[in-house]
Structures are given as C-alpha cells and as structure tokens.
Amino acid sequence: MINSKLPNIETSIFAKMSKMAADHNALNLSQGFPNFPSDPALNALVDKAMRDGFNQYAPMPGDFELRMEISKKIEKLHDHFYNPETEITITAGATQAIFTIIAATISKGDEVIIFTPAYDCYAPTIELFGGKIIPIQLKPPFYNPDWQEVADKISAKTKMIIINSPHNPTGSILSKDDMLQLQDLAEKNNLLVLSDEVYEHIIFDGNVHQSASKLEALAARSFVTASFGKTFHNTGWKMGYCAAPRNLMKEFQKVHQFVVFCVNHPVQKALATYLKNESHYLKLGDFYQQKRDFFLNLMEDSKFKIIPSKGTYFQMLDFSEISKESDIAFAGRLTKEFKIATIPTSVFNEGGKDFKQIRVCFAKTDETLAEAATIFRQF
C-alpha cells in the first residue's frame, strides 16, 4: 500500500469545472487558456525547426540563443542583467519551474509564506517537500497585501515568500512600494523569494509590471518564473523559464536535470527567433485590455459587482447581490442551468473563505465574450 504524501489533494478545480462544462455543453470561461490560435508565424517557426533537424535533446539549461533573448528582454524591461550561460533555465512551463524551485530550496520544517487566494500548485508542492504553509489572506475588493501582517508572520523558520503579480485569480498587481517593502523584509530576515510573473506582459491602464528583477537586493535572493504559453497564446506547449542569480540557479539546475532534463527543442528554437520582434509581447497588454473592456462594457447593466482587473486575463465577478449560495454551488448552477463555466475562488482562499466571487477568463474571442455577457445579464 502507498502512504500518500498528499492525502488531502483532490482533482483540481480547473479539471472539475472543465469536465462539468463538457458534460453540460457549457461555454467554458473556467480554465485560463485562449480559444483563439497562436500566431501562424510562430507555428511556422516551430515547423521549420523540426524540418531543420532540431528534434533531439536540447541543452539541459535550454537553447542558448533563447536564453540570450530572454536575458536581453529582461535587461531592457527591468534594467537587470541575467547571465544567459548561468542564470536562466528553460522549463516545461512555469509550473515545473515553481515545483523545481521549491524542491531545490524547501526542507522539512521550513516555513513558506503564500498569499491566498493562491495558484493551486504552491501549497501542495511545499507540503510535498515537508515545508509548512503560512497563508496570508488577501481581502476583497482590491486584494492588496498588508506588509505588517507579513512581518508579523515571519519567524526563525521562515525560508521563503511566494508572490504572484499580476495575480491569478484576482487580477490585482503589486506596486513599486509593495516590492520595496518585500525587499526590506527579505533582506532583514534573509528570505528567498519566488516571484511568479507568468502574466508579466498582461497589465492594464498604463501600469508597469514590477518584476522582482527590478530591485537589485531583491533580485539577488529571488527566483523569477515566466510563461511563454501565457504570452503567446499556446498554453499547451508548456514552455516557460526561470531566472535567478548564479548561486540559486545552480541549485535549481541540480533538480531540473532530474525532473525533465530539458524541454521541447524545436519550440525553443522557434521562440528564440520570435522573441527578436519585441512587438509580440510589448503590445500584449493593449490586446487584452481591449478584450477586458469589451467584456466589461457589455456587463455594465448586469447585477454583478465588478472592479476591473489590473492584469492577467482574468476578471472577478462578485455575485453577492444575486445569490446567497456558496461560490461552489453558484458556479455549479451556472454551468448546469445557464451553460457557462466559471471558477469559484473560495478553493484558493485560506480555510475556503467564500467572498461570493467567481473568476472568468476573458482570453476568448469577442463572439465568446459577447455570448458570455448575454448569459450573465440574465440575472
């Protein structure tokens, strides 16, 4: 018999809601993936790389040309240089990067601070390696961290703080002041930081993404993770990367080589070429802001309470004036009776706190968003 290392883990809410959507033939706004194609030019570059013979193992840290392009991008955007030879690794999506970071750094009894609602891979991975989760609940409607509360939760056993900005599922972002306070706490308490920045290029209303790599002292103790799938509309390719100072990346790669060794070679070659055109990611915020605004304009006369997302391609909808049901029950009824699938957000909160909010993904065609708004306006 197996003594489960994760005895309380069930099927993810994303898998559950997507299955329910399929079972009830519902419009699926639950899982965070686009329902429109990635750029045919990028697809063609992958095809070319395959035909050019890049079909065997890539170097363990990743294709060097791609690592160079990532290094150039980060330096241009955040004024911080990562050595492409020793400080960048290409990963099988950001989730693998996050898993590898925790595996490489967290030991039994180490405490890790996470902000809830939290992406659902953080807590199980910490638990898997014997760490203790210290959750700090972000509160609606704006979901801003209380740094005094963070300071109060730090103990002699605290090893790491995990941040996520732009934030899934709330669409909030961390400010420069937030990052300065994080840097101060991390320095004073000798903490590592895992900065999940997969929506780095999806940020709205003239705001600027505050990467952990922007601040010198913070970058010196941080792992930064990112996702090509989120940026280039191809989440199924499972391509991401991790950037960190050499001493941290050395430990990361010790684990990475035994988790996957390396990742998809032809896609790496294609991305190395594609990244040379900065417009592919610099215009992404405008692209998704247009979708956000299109959807929210259609929702103006609905009964949902809405604060516009500041980043990501997710929008929170507050249904507290519509129903007293739990968010899980409400999301289930939406799927079964109204044929639209969403994500109940209590599953990401400390103790399952229910703020009567559901999450929808607006990385969809305008036709899909218009159909969704029509359904929501029925309430």
Structural domains in the chain, CATH included, are 13-31+283-376 (3.90.1150.10), 54-280 (3.40.640.10)
- For the chain, count helices (H), then strands (E): 15, 12
Return the number of other C-beta atoms located less than 10 Å from residue 8's C-beta.
7
Question: What gap in Å lies between CA 141 and CA 355, rounded to an integer?
Answer: 9
Helical (H) or strand (E) element with 162: strand 158-164
- Cα–Cα dist 349/163, whole Å: 15
HSE of 113, CA atoms in CB hemisphere, 13 A: 28
Looking at residue 11, its pLDDT comes to 85
Would you say 223 and 244 are in contact if contact means Cβ atoms under 8 Å apart? yes
pLDDT at residue 1, rounded to an integer: 78
Mean pLDDT by 10 residues, the chain (379 residues): 87 90 94 94 98 98 98 98 98 98 98 97 97 97 97 98 98 98 98 98 98 98 98 97 98 98 98 95 97 98 97 98 97 97 96 97 98 97
CA distances, 143 to each of 6, 100, 133, 364 (Å): 29, 27, 19, 25
Residue 236, Ramachandran bin (φ over 0: left; ψ between -120 and 50: alpha; else beta): alpha
**Nearest CA among 195, 114, 188, 123 for reference residue 156:** 188
Contact yes or no for 86/248 (Cβ under 8 A)? no
Q: How far apart are the first and last CA of the chain?
A: 50
- Distance, in Å, from the CA atom of 293 to the CA atom of 309, rounded to the nearest integer, reads 10
- Residue 102 corresponds to which tokens in the numbers above? 């925790």
Measured CA to CA in angstroms, residue 6 lies from 53, 113, 126, 341, 378 at distances of 41, 19, 10, 28, 41
Question: What pLDDT is attached to residue 10?
Answer: 83
Place of tokens 């090509």: 228
**Closest C-alpha to 211, from 228, 233, 193:** 193
Dist CA 150 CA 141 (whole Å):
19
pLDDT of residue 15: 87
Write the DSSP string, 224-256.
EEEEHHHHTT-GGG--EEEE--HHHHHHHHHHH
- The Cα–Cα gap between 40 and 61 comes to 27
Residue with tokens 């601040």: 215
C-alpha 73, offset from chain centre: 19
